[in-house]
Structure 1
Amino acid sequence: MALLLAIETTTKNCSVALFQDVNLIHLCEHNSEEYSHSENLTLFIQQAVHDANILLEDIDAILVSKGPGSYTGLRIGTATAKGLCYSLDIPLVSLSTLKSMAFGMLSEGEYSFYCPMIDARRMEVFAAIYDQANNEVREVRADIVDANIYSDFLKEKVLFFGDGAFKCKDIIRHPNAHFVDGFFPSARHMGILGVKKFMDKEFENIAYFEPYYLKDFVIGKK
């Protein structure tokens, strides 16, 4: 059985989970407006290992949420994940933050499409759209939200969620648009997707792996 450590730091929720195969055996997370990931992440990893009564050397792979999201959060999570992989000589598995978010919401009612949103700034969000089988049906983009941006999908029921969805409620006014508040990326949703990639040996090159910033869009805006 595989023992996997998952790291999620793309938003203000700093989250660490341990999985025995697909079974969640420990979760540490803290949602803070202060983005205290640099202080919390290592402590959460130590706490998870201690509380699960295992050693770091028992871990078979590291799962890391690769973005898009906060530049600083992504750097902290990626650097920590790569450091663990180097020191423990274990593989690195990266997961799309938005795909993991969508996977975590699949049980929430009967919707045709799921649209996870991460707040970028102003009226911008990082978003993608997934179907009921967690297949990506519209690629990840940095969207400037207006009333019609998702009109092609709103012919059917769409669930919008994530910290970018709150500011869209008053703009996307459509009977097929549904919103969930208070949902953030969490390491708890990375297990099943991570185990599949681990079993398929879809590993990253630790030396060259970089998170997915969508930074060309962000840097180009003023």
Structure 2
Amino acid sequence: MKILAVDASTEACSAAVYVNGEIVERLTLTPRKHIELLMPMTKEVMEAAEIELNELHGLAFSVGPGSFAGLRIACGFVQGLGAGLNIPIVPVSTLAALAYPVLEEHPDAMVMPMLDAKMNEVYWAIYALDQDGELMIIEKDQVNSLEEVYAHLADKQYNVLAVGDGWGLEPESLTQLNGTLIEDRHYPRAGDIALLAKKDLEKGLGLYADQVAPVYLRHNIAMTIEEQKAFREEKAKGAEA
């Protein structure tokens, strides 16, 4: 299987190609320059992987939460490619993409990705792996002030591995939330988005260009991640019928 994935949801911008078990990826920190770099980075990884666009089986992108502008850029980018190539697209949660590689290394852990959402708020969730090694939602993707996060989790006594730049906003957050910081995991990566998308593409859960939209969380103007997944599952069932 060959998948192109992109991410522009945070200050980092990345593109990656998954080709039969191997990942070719490029990532750079470029605040407000995603629109300029996404196409060149895509061309670079495609050339490095030695494949053409017409060989791709699917596309994937970080659907949100994240920067409003960045989410729109990535969504529009894959919509254009997906429509032209007539191949499926998998929207992947930004927070799930942050959590997944840590869970691969620590399969018995719970991982709490947290990103700076500005306006004194954070995007956050908690993920784990189920007995089949599939990503499992413990706390769904949401946006809150840190005080609201503390209150929400006060009685739950989770011990979590902490990833994302949101953990740097308040020094006491690690103590308040029983977190152990993973130092080198501040931003999502397109390679991890591709790996998560592969699972859905294999199940026939891809969407087409006119069916994907960013998930902002802060404004209820698009389908939530859970709604998009349910939509994809219904689509897959219809294809089997």
Same fold (TM > 0.5): yes
Distance 2:193 2:48 in 1: 20
Q: Which amino acid aligns with 2:200?
A: K
Residue from 121, 126, 135 that aligns with 1:124: 121
Once the two structures are TM-superposed, the CA of residue 207 in structure 1 deviates from its matched residue by 1.1
Partner of 1:51: 48
Q: Is the 8 A contact 1:166 1:181 kept in 2?
A: no
Answer yes or no: is 1:173 the counterpart of 2:172: no
Distance 1:43 1:202 in 2: 28
Partner of 2:206: 203
Q: CA RMSD in A?
A: 2.1
Would the aligned equivalents of 1:169 and 1:179 in 2 still touch at CA under 8 Å?
no
How far apart are residue 211 of structure 1 and its match?
Answer: 0.8
Rounded to whole Å, the distance in 1 between the matches of 2:220 and 2:118 is: 12
Q: Aligned partners of 1:143, 1:217: CA distance in 2, in Å?
A: 14
Contact 1:126–1:142 (CA<8 Å) still a contact in 2?
yes
Unaligned runs of 5+ in 2: 222-241
Q: Identify the residue that residue 153 of structure 2 maps to in structure 1.
A: 150
Helix, strand or coil at the partner of 2:181: strand
Point out where structure 1 has 5 or more consecutive residues left out of the alignment: none
Where is the helix percentage greater, Structure 1 or Structure 2?
2
Residue 32 of structure 2 corresponds to: 35
Identity across aligned pairs (percent)? Answer: 26
> Which amino acid letter does the alignment assign opposite residue 190 of structure 2?
A
1:93 to 87, 90, 96: 90
* Residues 151 and 176 of structure 1, relative CA distance in 2, 3 Å threshold: same
Q: In 2, Cα distance between the equivalents of 1:109 and 1:46?
A: 33
More deviation, 36-45/110-119: 110-119
Indicate how the Cα distance of structure 1 residues 110 and 201 shifts in structure 2: closer, same or farther if over 3 A, else same.
Answer: closer
TM-score under structure 1 length normalisation: 0.87
Work out the CA distance in 1 between the residues paired with 2:86 and 2:38: 20
- Alignment of 1:23 with 2:22, yes or no, is yes
Distance apart, 1:127 and its partner CA: 0.7
Report how many aligned residue pairs link the two structures.
214
Provide the secondary structure at the position in 2 that maps to 1:215: coil
Q: Tell whether the 8 Å contact from 1:111 to 1:157 is kept in structure 2 after alignment.
A: no
1:106 alignment partner AA: L
Q: 1:142 to 1:5 in 2, by over 3 A?
A: same
Query: In the alignment, what sits opposite 2:13?
Result: 14
